[in-house]
Amino acid sequence: MLASVWRSGFRNAILIDSSPMRHVLALLALIAVALPALPQYDQPYRPQVHFSPREHWTNDPNGLVFFDGEYHLFFQYNPFGDVWGHMSWGHAVSKDLLHWEELPVAVPEKDGVMIFTGSVVVDHENSSGFCKPKTECLVAIYTGYQEHFPGGTRQAQYVAYSVDRGRTWTNYDKNPVIDLKMADFRDPSVFWDEERHRWVMAVSLPKEHDVQFYSSTNLKQWALLSEFGQLGDTDGDWECPDLLRVPSAQDPTKSTWALKVGLNPGAPQGGSGEQYFFGAFDGKTFTASHEKGAHGWTNYGKDDYCAINFNNIAKDEKPVLLGWMSNWEYAAKLPTSPWRGQMSLPRRLSFVKDVEGLGLKQEPVVETLRDGAATTLTSAPREAPFELQVTFDPKAEQIFGMRIYSDKEHYVEIGFDRKNQQLFMDRTKSSVTVAQEFPGTTVAPLTEGRGFDLHVIVDRSSVEAFAQDGTIAMNNLVFPTKPQVRVETFGSKPTSAQVWKLKSIWK
């Protein structure tokens, strides 16, 4: 009992006990009052600008949606421990995509059905009939997973709804709404097709490397439209599909469709990764483009998976993508406690088109966390979180970049290799070795003519790098040996280098 009271932070509780132990209990209570509060979000490796749950395991972000002035982040969550299991939907809300308030579990495992990945939409017109009269409500479409189904496991698509701004949820009494009687059929992503006035779902057949598209007018009855697959990389399961319209960075009046698909295992850097296809969607069929740059990887690091975009974002805003910052190769071995798992920074999406082809541009949402004006980059020790923007001379050395180090033996290198035309991040000597698959160097192909700029966000246990005006993204976890690090450039002196201290999202 005392342990649970202590962990909950009820330091000022007065314990009254008539047993012989009352004096001991009173003494412990006084000690608890005298000691400082245990910090909930200040443990070693606790992210300071990335969302992580207060405790326990998390993986994929789910049900990202903006509604009634709040951004909702639901997420795969084990309420009972720091390893995968008992999958339910955790829940947090934010006014600015950065400062999150964690709420109670939204949709818990129930009656032998785990709550796998899915999406949430705003039912503006009460097409589902779930909303109160003349009001809007939230509808969740998710995969229900039955581990002990007769004849094996079963995955099917389920629906739940909320009429109180996402605080409580009711499961549809005629679930599941799509059941192919398959062991692997998951991760529905649903959006409103304004032009055709109906709902569209993208959902994965992982083993077949296919994405199925369905349509519905009421979120309960669904009709198969088409399938897309067997393109790009098919070395692992296809998961977490997301179909969205992406605006042009050069001309916001223009846009194109993009289909994002997770791959696990088999990504180029090992383990989990995500590819995207630019193309056309006619309301029924997605057709991939064959233009140069129309197929690529959302992130070239090892730690960004199952990223999805927020539903119900204003039409004049760029879509916002958020992913799980980990990798299934070692996710269960991360040296963090009492939580395990974190989200990436949110990124605003657009596309670029130049003489070298198409590119997916990602801009991290971080500016409002800057603590004061930018300062000149020096090698003075600094504590995470902080942000760097560095530009190098295009006539520089063959290999150049920056080194972030705890000491001479432990560091991360981020740089450009002109000979091999690659961006690289080397965490081989970064820190604590989490698993055999953890050390290594991740690389991304450079595009001729897009420059040598780096935008880097360093948190207590991660480095997110964006290069070539955001058309390359690379996220990697790191676990430094010391809380303070130094930054220095190597190979070539930068033409500009700025650094900002970032404020914690928990303070």
Residues carrying an active site annotation: 60
Whether the Cβ atoms of residue 403 and residue 487 lie closer than 8 Å to each other: yes
Place of tokens 């091999």: 420
3-class secondary structure per residue, 129-150: CCCCCCCCEEEEEEEEEEEEEC
CA 24 from centre of chain: 47
Residue 76: strand pairing partners:
89
Whether the Cβ atoms of residue 339 and residue 53 lie closer than 8 Å to each other: yes
Whether the Cβ atoms of residue 367 and residue 303 lie closer than 8 Å to each other: no
Cβ neighbours of residue 125 under 8 Å, at least 6 residues apart? none
Place of tokens 């040598």: 452
How is the chain split among helix, strand and coil, in percent rounded to 5? 5, 50, 45
Amino acid at 94: S
Reply yes or no: is the peptide bond before residue 338 cis, omega within 30 of 0.
Answer: yes
- Map residue 31 onto helix, strand or coil: helix
Separation CA 391–CA 401 (nearest Å): 9
Separation CA 239–CA 245 (nearest Å): 19
Whether the Cβ atoms of residue 48 and residue 58 lie closer than 8 Å to each other: no
Separation CA 418–CA 410 (nearest Å): 25
- Which pairs count as long-range contacts for 4-8, CB under 8 Å and 24+ apart, including other chains? 5/32, 6/32, 6/38, 7/38
- Map residue 291 onto helix, strand or coil: coil
Whether the Cβ atoms of residue 198 and residue 184 lie closer than 8 Å to each other: no
Alpha-carbon distances of 376 from 101, 494, 497, 499, rounded to whole Å: 34, 11, 6, 6
Cβ neighbours of residue 175 under 8 Å, at least 6 residues apart? 144, 156, 158, 159
